[in-house]
Amino acid sequence: MTTQARKNFMEMFIDGARRGFTIATTNLLPNVVMAFVIIQALKVTGLLEMVGNLCRPVMAIWGLPGEAAAVLLTSLMSMGGAVGVCASLVVAGALTGHDATVLLPAIYLMGNPVQNVGRCLGTAAVEPRYYPHIIAVCVINALLSLWVMQALV
């Protein structure tokens, strides 16, 4: 049996801060930077405008511009990336602050199910036949939150 030395408050704080910094710099930051790069590339090539025009009728259901679809699609894969896409679309002028406010709860309710399938569901031994149902619940919650946020904001 091993005995661990008790850590004092400062040691625990520093360990937690170190782990938090590592997570931010190795997991979150690359997603956000990549999102900015992708949005800039789409903007320069004119594809962002095409995506906006293509998705405008569907996103109008929730009172959002077509470009907002890029945020929702990205949130299927990465919450950090979706926040980065949302921020860069605001900077690019494709989304307003109001649009971003409406989208943020949807990003977190979507909960990057593509990553969660491997990280959580696979680890928890959830049967793969339930994956589509679990992902559908995430998507439905996110889409419903858009209407709720439009009513509140």
Residue type, 136: A
Helix, strand, coil abundance in the chain, percent, nearest 5: 80, 0, 20
Give the Cα separation of 103 and 143 in Å (integer): 9
Query: Measured between alpha carbons, how far is residue 102 from residues 52, 64, 95, 108 in Å?
Result: 17, 9, 11, 12
Q: Tally helices (H) and strands (E) across the chain.
A: 8, 0
Q: Which residue has the higher pLDDT, 151 or 39?
A: 151
Mean pLDDT computed over every residue of the chain: 87
Domain chopping of the chain, boundaries = 31-152
At 106-134, the pLDDT tens digits run 999 998 887 777 778 878 888 889 989 98
Q: How many CB atoms lie within 10 A of CB 66?
A: 20
- Output the pTM of the full model: 0.73
